[in-house]
Structure 1
């Protein structure tokens, strides 16, 4: 009852990492501590692990200000910058929410109940079981009103099987998973922590976390926030570049590797370098199916994410709002996100297509400027500008509108990891367009991590079962309907990872899942549904389109705080994180008043 991972059985020795004896000895000492920590972890009951999670929550809550400020400073967001709120939500807020959700799951298990006790399950298209994984608490239902989240399991898994299997490693807490290596992400500061937590709780595996060099300044914050894991030997944190990573991936006492990064880095770890004097040996290993890595590996590797715009009759306010929504999907964190929307798929036959294009240009150009800080992003932007010389070039972003007869291959096959947004057109309207857009996303766009879809309530209701059938055909690990898939990232009870089917030789967006605070087995995908219209414009829809699932209960938010256009985003994001950390009702009221001014 564990999540799928690729198991590697090749015997080829790991190549020399190039570290000196002292550096190797220091890493070996950390691993020795973790080996003892693995035995200690296996001796803890589930109830004792809950106590540890509560201590971890307290230590993490004590660091939230330093965490958010250090992250903002490291990305060049000066004090007072309107987008500093991103680092509150994508950093400490995400971690605190995950700790709460994991503690709730472990509490159920410690009391002899299923991890899905009190969680509704139902049926999804294709004989699938779905788990209604969000919201599960009253406060989440209030703060994020209008948003819901489902986890779809693989076809053939029944609700009863799902309930009995939920819990993963915590169903057998004494079974040690050994010591694993987590190669941390370099872009979002919660990712390394969330990956470590999943190793511990899903797999009973203590972790050596190697942070990406872009996150070096966060290490002192991590060490304080994660002290309850570090002190008993459940976690060690190290810095270093490729040499340290190469030494650790080949270390015989590390039994598993998890990486959040790029497919190119994954391939280098598994097969060897694709360039230089050793490239020939790498090619031979691939041809003979002899991976260099000799242990299991899981990975989250990003991709090119579509934003499908289903044509309908939109008001001017709808067009303005959804254009800002699309701009946010690309420009949050300056586009340095594995889940950033990159290709807008638009209907060429939509009467409002040109109006939407105009609004998108305005929203994309009008978002606050910020530094392009992630290594290599500027070079990828330059390449995109060369590939599409007619693109709209702004100071810190690029908008590519692929015209008739132009080749969209580069846009659709290159994860730019930079503020580069493209627009392509397909013919048709209604179900015809939706089916064509789904097929285009599946077949033309690189990767299967996340897909976004915007549809108005009247159109969704008119499509009926055809809409849900199309969603089932959209083969992505995270799907957001009238939302952004980053919302699925931040909800701990949803899952995060590629659509199943990747292999070592063709890894795509990765192998396995993370987050998954309900500890579900047999996951296929997660789906977020949000309101098409913000407060108060959604109110008439509840009367006119009662069968539209995207309406849910409506939302209290006029503009979500993660929108790059939200005027009070920084204050609201900070306030929500402080409320998550300390539960101050007065502080929450002030935050909500600021949200209404967004």
Structure 2
């Protein structure tokens, strides 16, 4: 694990110089024709690919990730996600350069509530094969037509000559592609150069980042700096910074904006716009059904992944498991979940403050189960309700129960998630195909009522982060004085306006059980599962593919994926 005490923080004079350079870079970007912008991003894509090994290794060391399959987490959530993001941005700019819309060629449909839905996954034959059985859509705000959306798509990429100035991106300390992808969106969508201030937990990635983004650094469009709270304070107050974007906690956001977590009256202390992604308590809704033993095991692994991936240090980690009190298989499922947790590899929490948060959870729930270094607790009317309002950001999973079955249970779970849980970043739902079919159009109506920025149906909502064409951010409507899971979105590679949310759907069962049970999907257990033996092999090969897509690389990916 990288020691933050060995990291040199940027000085104020270095920061001043960086902002001066970036100010010139933003002006140059404003004057840059689209073909030259595309060429610069293509060179950066190449440099990210060249730095991928160093990047992944630096992230592994920063987190003390156990060697073996779990190393794949750092490949997939680091260089792979970033390469995919840059590739998608380049494709959108190419469409605009040819006189078209970045949304040209996308399939659309009308989703519940008169919402236009754009299909983003799969977007090509590569994705059709690599993510067989998965689908991703961006839903627009009600009443926005597909024609209107295609006409207005493009954001800052259509506003040649616009100078967005210099922004500050306060990078996350848990997923290594978050900061880089935020910088990319600032540049393409808002014509803004960026200072990327690393969280001290990722201070050891500075060299890998500088190698990966060398073309943008040389063009004075990006500076990557190390620093603690004092560096962040200096930058947020710097007159040369026009905008702030933060990934972190609501507490940090409020201290930046208001200088307080309690007094949010009057004029904000921050004198510039801010956007944010701040996490929350994400639900995992399990619609009761009649599952066989293999279903129970697979979905227990699925739930465990949503909480314990990255040691639980995910803003999108599922924390509130919502079950039906009337489900005959409820206790079987919880027993299978306990078994899965007990079999997970040993892993030490590495994110600062985790031990205190875990201890607080165990103190609030004296009957909490401690299983293999993880905490499983039950919330009911007789216990504390703090698990619904406190983001533990660690290896703590709560479960609770509501009455009902079918659509009645789902509606109750949606209402519960909307009104009882903190935040609106992402929600996941598990439902067998037959049970979904039985609900008819009421199922999608219920999904439309679920107020979250990314919704995963039979797939962890975090996968939406990996699909750069989807939006990433809280459900719209938050304000500076009630920020919730944040304000604004990122990723959104097709540069759509009026985005409300993203919705993903995955297979309920992996191949071959999927086909045997009537689902036409050939995907095996996903490589992002914490139980996947193929995690490292799949993730590394996907990264090589994203660097230079080729049909010749698919067999190697499939060979790894089907190892389970």
Same fold (TM over 0.5): yes
Q: Is the 8 A contact 2:344 2:372 kept in 1?
A: no
Whole-angstrom CA distance in 1 between matches of 2:562 and 2:340: 20
The 5-angstrom pairing of residues 443-482 of structure 1 reads 443-482=419-458
Whole-angstrom CA distance in 2 between matches of 1:405 and 1:345: 14
Whole-angstrom CA distance in 2 between matches of 1:202 and 1:364: 42
Whole-angstrom CA distance in 2 between matches of 1:582 and 1:408: 51
- Tell me the equivalent position of 2:5: none
SS in 1 for 2:328: coil
Whole-angstrom CA distance in 2 between matches of 1:195 and 1:535: 35
> TM-score normalised to the size of structure 2?
0.96
Q: Confirm or deny that 1:62 pairs with 2:50.
A: yes
Residue 586 of structure 1, CA deviation: 5.2
> TM-score normalised to the size of structure 1?
0.91
Q: Is the 8 A contact 1:457 1:541 kept in 2?
A: no
Q: Is the 8 A contact 2:338 2:371 kept in 1?
A: no
Whole-angstrom CA distance in 1 between matches of 2:225 and 2:458: 40
Match among 538, 554, 557 for residue 514 of structure 2? 538
- For structure 2, the 5+ residue unaligned runs are 1-9
Residue 396 of structure 1, CA deviation: 2.2
The 5-angstrom pairing of residues 255-294 of structure 1 reads 255-274=242-261, 283=263, 286-287=264-265, 289-294=266-271
Deviation digits for residues 99-146 of structure 1 (CA, Å, limit 9, x no counterpart): 111111111000001111110122111121111111112111111111
The 5-angstrom pairing of residues 48-59 of structure 1 reads 48-59=36-47
Whole-angstrom CA distance in 2 between matches of 1:340 and 1:39: 39
The 5-angstrom pairing of residues 223-372 of structure 1 reads 223-274=210-261, 283=263, 286-287=264-265, 289-372=266-349
Whole-angstrom CA distance in 2 between matches of 1:587 and 1:150: 26
Whole-angstrom CA distance in 1 between matches of 2:382 and 2:61: 40
- For structure 1, the 5+ residue unaligned runs are 1-21, 275-281, 543-550
Q: Confirm or deny that 1:388 pairs with 2:355.
A: no
Q: Confirm or deny that 1:41 pairs with 2:29.
A: yes
SS in 2 for 1:333: helix
Residue 555 of structure 1, CA deviation: 2.8
- Tell me the equivalent position of 1:375: 352
Match among 526, 529, 532 for residue 502 of structure 2? 526
Q: Confirm or deny that 1:73 pairs with 2:61.
A: yes
SS in 1 for 2:500: strand
- Tell me the equivalent position of 1:88: 75
Residue 526 of structure 1, CA deviation: 0.2
Residue correspondences, number: 555
Q: Is the 8 A contact 1:408 1:424 kept in 2?
A: no
Q: Confirm or deny that 1:554 pairs with 2:541.
A: no
Residue 591 of structure 1, CA deviation: 3.1
- Tell me the equivalent position of 2:561: 595
SS in 1 for 2:142: coil
Q: Is the 8 A contact 2:135 2:505 kept in 1?
A: yes
SS in 1 for 2:176: coil
CA distance 1:169–1:152, shift in 2 (3 Å): same
SS in 2 for 1:236: strand
SS in 2 for 1:538: helix
CA distance 1:167–1:304, shift in 2 (3 Å): same
CA distance 1:408–1:345, shift in 2 (3 Å): farther
CA distance 1:485–1:408, shift in 2 (3 Å): farther
